[in-house]
């Protein structure tokens, strides 16, 4: 990541962290942009803000602990606000899962009263065309790949970096990155993917975003789709 990209992500993350008020429970997203929000929230906690975080991954849990954010869970409370990143945004619909955390992210993000997405401008698109990550039970990777082909997609098993073999999610599953080209009906595709036996969760988040904070060189741009 260049210094410029990192600065844009910081701008978006800091802006979202400013929305947090005393006593809130916050869904803590995963990825490099959500991490900027978690760091900014940690600074506010250092300065006396009282919040509890609900992590969406091993990464966000560790980062929150490192930055002194007390943790809770969905068993204890409902998030007032969730702050998360995205791989691509079109209106209120997202593709997520670049960090293979989309299953837990979807549970936390959709449980929140308000979902704020933090991105740099490269993530916005007229029409979604980013490959959709699909978390699958290990035994289902071939059958799901075949059914994804029947839906018009090309799937690739996501390989790990710095480990031989595939990415294994925090839930012990595998990820198929499924390229459908331009996605004209995200609702229909989301429903089709959810129906496939062995699919744990897919990265299409349909119509669930309240605000998008886009970090730009001139400051943050907020969109409310």
Ligand X SMILES: O=C(CO)[C@H](O)[C@H](O)COP(=O)(O)O
Clarify whether 105 is annotated catalytic.
yes
Q: Residue ranges for the binding site for substrate?
A: 30-33, 84-87, 96-99, 123
Q: How far is the CB of 17 from ligand X (least distance, A)?
A: 14
Q: Does 33 bind ligand X (CB under 6 A)?
A: yes
Q: Which is nearer to ligand X, 13 or 153 (CB)?
A: 13
Q: How far is the CB of 130 from ligand X (least distance, A)?
A: 10
Residue from 16, 17, 25, 34 touching ligand X (CB under 6 A): that is: 34
Q: Does 186 bind ligand X (CB under 6 A)?
A: no
Q: In the range 91-110, which residues lie near ligand X by CB under 6 A?
A: 96-102, 105
| Binding-residue total with ligand X (CB under 6 A) | 18
Three-class HEC string of the chain: CCHHHHHHHHHHHHHHHCCCCCCCEEEECCCHHHHHHHHHHHHHHHCCCCCEEEECCHHHHHHHHHCCCCECCCCCCCCCEEEECCCEEECCEEECCCCCCHHHHHHHHHHCCCEEEEECHHHECCCCCCCEEEEECHHHHHHHHHHHHHCCCEEEECECCCCCCECCCCCCCEEEEEECCCCCCHHHHHHHHHCCCCEEEECEECCCCCEEEEEECCEEEEECC
Q: Which is nearer to ligand X, 20 or 115 (CB)?
A: 115
Q: List the catalytic residue out of 105, 135, 201, 211.
A: 105
Q: In the range 51-90, which residues lie near ligand X by CB under 6 A?
A: 84-87
Residue from 11, 27, 31, 45 touching ligand X (CB under 6 A): that is: 31
Q: Which is nearer to ligand X, 28 or 189 (CB)?
A: 28
- For the beta sheet containing 154-157, the strands, ordered from the edge strand earlier in sequence to the opposite edge, are 154-157, 174-179, 132-136, 199-202
**Residue numbers annotated as active site:** 105
Binding site for ligand X (CB under 6 A): 29-34, 84-87, 96-102, 105
């Amino acid at each position: 990541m260049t210094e410029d990209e990192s600065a844009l992500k910081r701008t978006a993350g800091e802006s979202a962290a400013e929305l947090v008020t005393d006593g809130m429970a916050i869904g803590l997203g995963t990825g490099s942009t959500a991490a900027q929000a978690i760091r900014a929230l940690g600074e506010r906690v250092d300065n006396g803000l009282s919040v509890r975080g609900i992590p969406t991954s091993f990464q966000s849990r560790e980062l929150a602990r490192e930055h002194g954010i007390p943790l809770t869970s969905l068993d204890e409370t409902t998030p007032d606000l969730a702050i998360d990143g995205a791989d691509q945004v079109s209106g209120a619909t997202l593709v997520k899962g670049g960090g293979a955390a989309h299953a837990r992210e979807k549970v936390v993000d959709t449980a929140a009263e308000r979902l704020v997405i933090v991105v740099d401008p490269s993530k916005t698109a007229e029409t979604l065309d980013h490959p959709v990550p699909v978390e699958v039970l290990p035994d289902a990777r071939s059958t799901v790949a075949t059914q994804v082909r029947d839906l018009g997609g090309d799937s690739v098993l996501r390989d790990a970096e710095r480990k031989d073999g595939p990415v294994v999610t925090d839930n012990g599953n595998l990820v198929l990155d499924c390229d459908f080209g331009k996605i004209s009906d995200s609702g229909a595709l989301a429903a089709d993917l959810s129906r496939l036996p062995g699919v744990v969760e897919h990265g299409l988040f349909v119509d669930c975003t309240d605000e998008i904070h886009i970090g730009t060189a001139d400051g943050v741009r907020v969109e409310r789709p």
